[in-house]
Amino acid sequence: MCTRIFYETGTSTYITGRSMDWRDVTMQSDLWVFPRGLSRDGGVGEGSATWTSKYGSVIVAIYNLATSDGMNEAGLAGNMLYLVESSYGDP
């Protein structure tokens, strides 16, 4: 289970923090660095989205399967939160 806290400072800035309470101490993780200007695609075959990155980025890939954390050179960050027991109800 992971936990996130998001704090608005009141001065148009924000502070975020996240724990990664993962019990797999042998989890394989890799650090990937992607340069700006890299041509990418969604990887799902014909009709997949395509784009060229405007910013360079760095990500942490887990199990050679998914991105758990990442940040681009402009400061945009993304993190994965996962709990198998979560239920979000009907769409």
Residues assigned a catalytic role = 2
CA distance 33 to 55: 11
Residue 50 CB partners (closer than 8 Å, separation 6+): 39, 40, 41, 42
